[in-house]
Chains A and B, each alone.
Chain A
């Protein structure tokens, strides 16, 4: 279990780093962020009560009435209690409430599309790497192109073609706003209808990364001696591919999950902006446009936490698939 402990320790360090960056950023910026923010909030007609000012000072640090260490402790204490302050955009709703409303949307949308895209990309990549030099090689330039397309632009094009021109899908939103949110048939159907286009966007733009990585690894693995041995034993090609080559080729894909997930999350933030999808990315954008610092910082933390959690899961899975990581303590 040394491996597990090392991994947990690493993610705790990463979490601490994210929290600390979040704490230090506004304090490292030139000028007094609270004053700058308040003046911007007044310009946009935001509510500026004394409590709001005080909350901001705790959040962002104000010209040094308290020393940095004390501010840091207060900040950590607030975080531990789940107290992110009050949102200026959705005043006077607490930030935590805004988060619990928007988080499920993103978790379902990004989670499902990431899984679909990963499975699709890895399967296709293994097949393309296996049958190299045939028609399937044409998939490589096609996915290269898709991977180079910005998510949000693909979203724009899809909205233009399927939403605005053909009228098959709604242009924006996560559900029909006439419907009650809950586990009712019409609501779920509407949510599915609204979520399909964003999901297709995310899958299309992210599938290429998985596919290319898996293809390259399959090509390398197919040249290994144990694959040759398996072929010489007269095993069926399918079995050689699935249990010998693909199983080993998928390991680097899992190992690079952290990098790729970062891409997907970043892409989906902008995609949500295009669709005005009521998820966490759209919330972040709303917060930025309204200078809602408490909400901005909380969204950043939540996204980071989600990415760290997903990576921890994948690391555990990695240890199950690849026994070597368990033995050497993970390198």
Chain B
């Protein structure tokens, strides 16, 4: 670890975050706005929705009714209101996404940033750990674990999904940490005798925030999809409602064969819509991280994009 990597006179590489992004609360990018609006809608439904609807559980008077003024999305085989179930399930699915996404992101920060920053043996060991975790397919593993746990509820599933899905993010964060570590401001604070943990937290992690945010969004999508798949297979436990368990009940009641499309179409659409919104957010985060991806809106942008790449410092 020497200070020589800070070449005097060389232009400072631009910070990962675009300068405008910090001052404005609302992003300029239209896709990010749409994405955030949809996500905010879902969060709102998840927080207040379950208090406003009735008829999500229990047995209703008219089973398998198609959508009508009384039941906007029809009813299930036992007469529960599909819309009410959808609202309650939103809370469950979002909870799994948030918990598992948070756990996976924290794990990936610990493994990726520490490995990338410390380097050497520690880095090799942590890299090996994340690469091995990455190539072992996660869903079969999650299926096995949840089966041993016998369902286990939302918390258990979130933990299992979080524990198995951090590896890809850790790899990305490790690469980014290595490039941030080689920058002048980190070298400067090292020269000032800053303590390592403070350097990681104050000099490195803030520069990684857009990357971390993108990885978190990705982890949330992954967790919601995985939970939906697991629950659809009947492995997520059936004592709570999520979009996956709704689909499980629909499939078990032969909703397809009966033609009860109003039962199995909405949960999937909800997953797809939320996934889309999160992906949109991620697309615009990608462009914050990698400005070259920005659409060539002006000639100046295009010329800027053709400037040679920042030299990477590999050691």
Contact = CB atoms under 8 A, between A and B. Distances in A.
Nearest to B309: A224
A259 B168 contact: yes
Given A17-B136, A220-B293, A156 B256 contact: yes
A157 B261 CA distance: 9
Contacts of B293: 216, 219-220
Tell me the interface secondary structure of chain A in the complex: helix
Interface string A122-134: 0000000000110
A261 B138 CA distance: 11
A266 interface: yes
A228 B144 contact: no
A152 B138 contact: no
Nearest to A268: B139
A149 B271 contact: yes
B268 A284 contact: no
Given A17-B136, A307-B136, A149 B268 contact: yes
B253 interface: no
Given A13-B132, A17-B132, A223-B306, A164 B259 contact: yes
Contacts, number: 161
Interface string B260-272: 0100110110011
B268 A153 contact: yes
Contacts of A266: 137-140, 226, 229
Interface string B140-167: 1101110111000000000000000000
A157 B272 CA distance: 13
Interface stretch (A101-109, A190-198, A293-301): A293-301
A303 B140 contact: yes
Contact of B135 (A132, A141, A148, A307): A307
B45 interface: no
A289 B128 CA distance: 34
Interface in A135-181: 140-141, 144-145, 147-154, 156-157, 159-160, 164-165, 171
A22 to B, nearest CB: 8
Contacts of B276: 141, 144-145, 148
A61 interface: no
Given A18-B136, A270-B233, A33 B259 contact: no
Contact of B232 (A152, A164, A224, A284): A152
Given A132-B296, A148-B272, A149-B275, A21 B280 contact: no
Nearest to B257: A164
A220 B292 contact: yes
A273 interface: yes
Interface in A2-17: 10-11, 13-14, 17
Nearest to B297: A133
B135 A297 contact: no
Contacts of A153: 228, 247, 264, 267-268, 271-272
Interface string A232-259: 0000000000000000000000000011
A287 to B, nearest CB: 9
B290 interface: yes
A269 B268 contact: no
A241 B247 CA distance: 44
Contacts of B265: 157
A262 interface: yes
Contact of A262 (B138, B235, B247, B275): B138
Contacts of A171: 256-257
B84 interface: no
A270 B232 contact: yes
A51 interface: no
Nearest to A40: B150
Contacts of B247: 152-153, 156
Nearest to A285: B233
Contact of B140 (A29, A273, A300): A300
Contacts of B256: 156, 159-160, 164, 171
Contacts of B135: 11, 14, 258, 262, 307-308, 311
Interface in A55-108: none
Contacts of B226: 266
A25 B144 contact: yes
Contacts of B261: 160
B268 A14 contact: no
Nearest to A255: B171
B12 interface: no
Contact of A150 (B168, B225, B305): B225
B229 A150 contact: yes
Contact of B136 (A14, A154, A289, A297): A14
A26 interface: yes
Interface string A262-278: 10011101100110000
A156 B264 contact: yes
Interface of B: 128, 131-132, 134-141, 143-145, 147-149, 168, 221, 225-226, 228-229, 232-235, 247, 251, 256-257, 259, 261, 264-265, 267-268, 271-276, 278-280, 283, 286, 290, 292-293, 295-296, 305-306, 308-309
Which 8 pairs show the lowest CB-CB distances between chains A and B? A148-B275, A266-B139, A153-B268, A149-B272, A29-B148, A270-B229, A14-B132, A144-B279
5 contacts: A14-B131, A132-B295, A132-B296, A153-B272, A269-B140
Interface of A: 10-11, 13-14, 17-18, 21-22, 25-26, 29, 33, 132-133, 140-141, 144-145, 147-154, 156-157, 159-160, 164-165, 171, 216, 219-220, 223-225, 228, 258-259, 261-262, 265-267, 269-270, 273-274, 284-285, 288-289, 296-297, 299-300, 303-304, 307-308, 311
